[in-house]
Amino acid sequence: MTDSAIHIEKLEKIYKARGRQKEKAALHGVDLAIPKGSVFGLLGPNGAGKSTIINIMAGLVTKSAGHVKIWDYDIDTHERQAKAAIGVVPQEINFDPFFTPRQLLDLQAGLYGVPKKERRTMALLDLVGLSAQADSYTRSLSGGMRRRLMVAKAMVHAPPILVLDEPTAGVDIELRRGLWDNVRALNRAGTTVLLTTHYLEEAEQLCDRIAIINHGRIIVCEEKETLLARIDQKEIVFRLDRALQEIPEGLAAYAPEQQGRRSLKCRYSPASGAVGEMIAALQKSGYRIADISTDESDLEDIFIKLTKS
C-alpha cells in the first residue's frame, strides 16, 4: 500500500473532432498524488480540466493516456474496486423527488451491494444534519439540505475517498459553513477528501494541500502554507495621532498611499524587516502612531497571479 489515496501519472485526455468542433486536448500529462487522510483542493478556472479528472476517476470519461490509481487500484485493471473506493458528489443535484432521504440512501446502498444489516442510513443522515427529515420527500428539502443529502448519498458504501465537485455552489453562507463542518467531521473520521471549488475561501479554510490546474496542466501542487507564502507581500496601515501633512521621505521605498486625513498605507516584504524602519520614519517626522493594521496576501491573490496567463 502506498501513502497516496489517489495517484495520477501522465494523464491525458483528448476530445476528438466532431463536426465543426476541432480536436481539443483537455489534459496534458497531469501528475498528481493526493495523500491519504488529507483534504486536498483542486482549483482552476472554468474549463481548466478539474471535472475531466473527476469524471475519469468515476469512470464517466475514458482517458486518452496515462495511469490512475484509486486506493492502490488501477482504474484499467481493477475498475470495480477503484470505483468502490470513491464516493462522488457532483455539481448537479440529482435524485428522485418522490423518495425520502431514508429511502434514497437505502436504495443507493443496495446498488452498491451493501447488506441491510451493514447500512448506515440514519448515522449518515445524522452526520449531515438531516435525521429529522429522514421521512420527508426530498422535493420538500431546501437547496442546502439537498446538497448535504448528496454528501450522505456518496458515503453509503463507506468509501475511503470522498470527491466533492463544487459542493457549495449556490448555497448561502450559513449552509456553506454547515457543509464545511460535515467535511471536517468526515475527514476526522479518516476519509480522504478531494475538493474542487470556485470559492477560494473554502479551499483556504478546509484544505491542507492544494493543486492549481490551468489549461489542462498542473501549475502548482503544494502544502497550503507553502502556497500562501508565494506572494511575500503585506500591506500595513498606520493611523496617526494627527492629520498627515506630507509623506515622510523615509517611506518612499514602501509605495506609501495616504488614506483619509490621518491614515497611511505602505507595502512591504515581511522578510525585509521594514516595519521598524517605517515606524522610525514616522516618528522622525514628528508623528505618533495611534493604531496599526496589516493585510497579507490570500489564496485569491495567488490564484489570480498563477492563472492570469
Per-residue pLDDT for 169 more than 80? no
Query: Which residues have a Cβ under 8 Å from the Cβ of 198 and sit 6 or more positions away?
Result: 166, 169
CA distance 117 to 298: 47
pLDDT recorded at residue 170: 67
Q: DSSP letter for 97, please.
A: T
Count of residues in the chain: 309
Least confidently predicted of 86-90, 227-231, 243-247, 260-264: 227-231
139, 101 contact by CB (below 8 A): no
Tell me the torsion sign for CA atoms 36, 39, 44, 47: positive
pLDDT recorded at residue 4: 93
Looking at every residue in the chain, the average pLDDT score rounds to 88
Per-residue pLDDT for 295 more than 90? no
- Alpha-carbon radius of gyration of the chain: 25
Query: Which residues have a Cβ under 8 Å from the Cβ of 231 and sit 6 or more positions away?
Result: 297, 301, 302, 305
pLDDT recorded at residue 296: 60
What confidence tens digit (pLDDT) does each residue in 243-288 have? 998 899 889 888 899 998 999 999 887 766 788 889 999 999 999 9
Superfamily of domain 4-228: P-loop containing nucleotide triphosphate hydrolases (3.40.50.300)
Per-residue pLDDT for 294 more than 90? no
The DSSP bridge partners found for residue 73 are: 70
**Domain ranges (residues) in the chain:** 4-228, 234-297
Record the pTM. 0.77
> Taking residues 204-230, what's their average pLDDT?
88
Q: Residue 134 has which C-alpha cell?
A: 429522514
User: Topology of domain 234-297, per CATH?
Assistant: Alpha-Beta Plaits (3.30.70)
What confidence tens digit (pLDDT) does each residue in 107-118 have? 999 999 999 999
Helix, strand or coil for residue 98? Answer: coil
Per-residue pLDDT for 307 more than 80? no
